Amino acid sequence: MLAVLPRLRRFARALARDAADADDLCQMTVEKALLARASWQPGTRLDSWMYRIMRNAWIDTARARGRASETFVDAEAGAGVGGDGGAEARVALGEVEAAMRRLPDEQREAVALVLVEGLAYKEAAEVLDIPMGTLTSRLVRGRQALMLDLGEAA
């Protein structure tokens, strides 16, 4: 499970769009995976199983936030609460991360699983619980949107 953590964190960043939320999502995923470890089938991919747990946890979190935003006032309405040599690479990475955050959720999930995490199309479709054709179309639209956003020829 420890070997999968860096990949889980990247996927969490793609889902959450925020480092703190991504860390919380990773922690929640590991906790859920440990509690449900008896349901993992040896011989199957642990990373795919954990990606699915993470995605479902993120959906639950997003739904809860949606309900909370309908119930509570915004935080702004309350009292205020209070590298060496890699600069160009960090700037480029930041631009890609920003472009990824601007993608619709469905496209961002597909791009993160296939292009960033390296899952096969079939595995990614299973994690997202969608048909392979739907995954392919989301990837195509996501790639085109990223290239357009980053100023590259589509």
Quote the pLDDT of residue 93.
74
Statement: residue 72 has pLDDT above 90: no
Statement: residue 76 has pLDDT above 90: no
- The pLDDT-based confidence of 100 (bands split at 50, 70, 90) is confident
Statement: residue 55 has pLDDT above 60: yes
Ranges 93-102, 118-127, 135-144: which has the least confidence: 93-102
Q: Which segment, 5-9, 40-44, 75-79, is predicted with the most confidence on average? A: 5-9
DSSP string of the chain, one letter each residue = -GGGHHHHHHHHHHHHSSHHHHHHHHHHHHHHHHHTGGGSPTTS-HHHHHHHHHHHHHHHHHHHHHHHHHHS--GGGS------S-HHHHHHHHHHHHHHHHS-HHHHHHHIIIIIS---HHHHHHHHT--HHHHHHHHHHHHHHHHHHTT---
